[in-house]
Amino acid sequence: MDNDQATLEVINSFIQIGMEDLSEGRPCFINFTYNLLENDIPSYFPPKTLVIEILETVTFTDDLIDICRKLKLKGYKLALDDFEMVESNSNFHTIMSLVNIVKIDIQKTTRDQQLYLLNLLKKYNVDLLAEKVETREEYEKCLKDGYKYFQGYYFSKPIILSTSDLKVQHTSYYEIMGELSQANPDIERITYLIERDVSISYKVLKLINSPLYRRLSEIKSIKQAIVLLGLNELSKWIYLLYIRDTKEKTSDIPNEVIKMCLTRAKASELIALHIGKKMESSSYFLTGIFSLIDTLLKQPLEKVMEQLPLYQEIKDTILGSQTPYREVLDLVIAIEKGEWSEINKRSEGIGLKQSELAQTYISALKWTQEVLKNPAKV
């Protein structure tokens, strides 16, 4: 994949897997292209969470130097990847005054080249990082040379961390971004647009539970998450997710699973309204939409629930505990399976007539079909 896409995948993994699991709270070194720097993508993260690694393919124009100055003023650390620059470069001294870390590939550079670079960089207030350190002898030599940081197979072979991603309805992005761009964005409308997309709902909750926006609150609705996150932060992340997903649209998640999540969510919400639970209907919706999240992400349900800041009773419901939410969710699942005796028993238990239940489920099915077929009209 191209360099932009590679970096966007890493950033997306911060949301999907969680920054704490990836780096144990330490700053992450992330490669940034000129295009991503120009779009101010690093500022989506607090300065303490990452080191901005500028690829060796990036040309240091006056504009890029200006971008680096602004990032430094905000408190970000800058690193130069695969450093090969020579002192004759017209911007050399300016660049060296801005960067914090210089990475030197000890396999790609000869010993003479390394000694030349080490001597050259002594004049500047930069830390040295040795790349491709593969043996103890190389490590000890680099240590004597004055390197502060080390990276390579000698310490650990790279480990690929992965998880399944969730496919987003791209019309959802357009509509959410359109509403967010209004002079007075309608939070109710934004909530509605996010709620009907399983992927965006999940990512908003993961984001608000990340170290970037750690909240003590348990979330009972998407609207509460939006209010806690704030429209400005939501706008930034919706934009970032959009440009990332636009570059990579493939997904192996069956569309039927998405349909089932949406139908469960809407049916649960409508049933809650019928039985006088209007104030909690959004919580019933959340319970339904995340009831198959383990299937969607291909991860254990317990692990996923640990990572989401959901109201504890919603988590307990999804994990199988008997709660008021579970009574409704089990009823909806019984309808899915056509378990008629179970449907009769459960509908009577919550005081819902058969005729009301049938119409409610039909409405939920129609809503889901419209969302997936023609979202703009829903």
23: Cα separation from own chain's centroid: 15
Q: Is the entire prediction scored with pTM above 0.85? A: no
On the question of pLDDT at 376 being above 50, the answer is: no
Q: What does the pLDDT look like over 53-104, one tens digit per residue? A: 988 777 778 888 999 999 999 999 999 987 766 555 677 888 888 999 999 9
- Pairwise CA distance, residues 105 & 207, whole Å: 35
pLDDT digits (tens, 9 = 90+) for 347-361: 988 988 888 898 899
CB atoms within 10 A of CB 48: 12
For residue 353, the Cα-to-chain-centroid distance in whole angstroms is 42
Tokens 């459960």 locate to 346
- Domain positions in the chain are 3-150, 170-247, 255-377
With the C-alpha atoms ordered 86, 91, 96, 102, is the resulting torsion angle positive or negative?
Answer: negative
CB 321 within 8 A of CB 331: no
- How far is CA 242 from each of CA 31, 172, 207, 236, rounded to the nearest angstrom? 19, 10, 15, 10
Arithmetic mean of pLDDT over the chain = 82
Q: How far apart are CA 299 and CA 366, in angstroms?
A: 30
HEC sequence for 35-104? HHHHCCHHHHCCHHHEEEEECCCCCCCHHHHHHHHHHHHCCCEEEECCCCCCCCCCCHHHHHHHCCEEEE
pLDDT in tens, 151-206: 888 776 666 666 666 666 655 776 887 788 677 889 999 998 888 888 888 888 88
Domain 3-150 has CATH 3.90.550.10: no
Per-residue pLDDT, 377: 43
Q: What is the mean pLDDT of residues 328-335?
A: 94
Provide DSSP, 259-290: HHHHHHHHHHHHHHHHTT-GGGHHHHHHHHHT
Q: Which two tokens stand for residue 41?
A: 């993508």
Running DSSP on this structure, what letter comes out for residue 375?
Answer: G
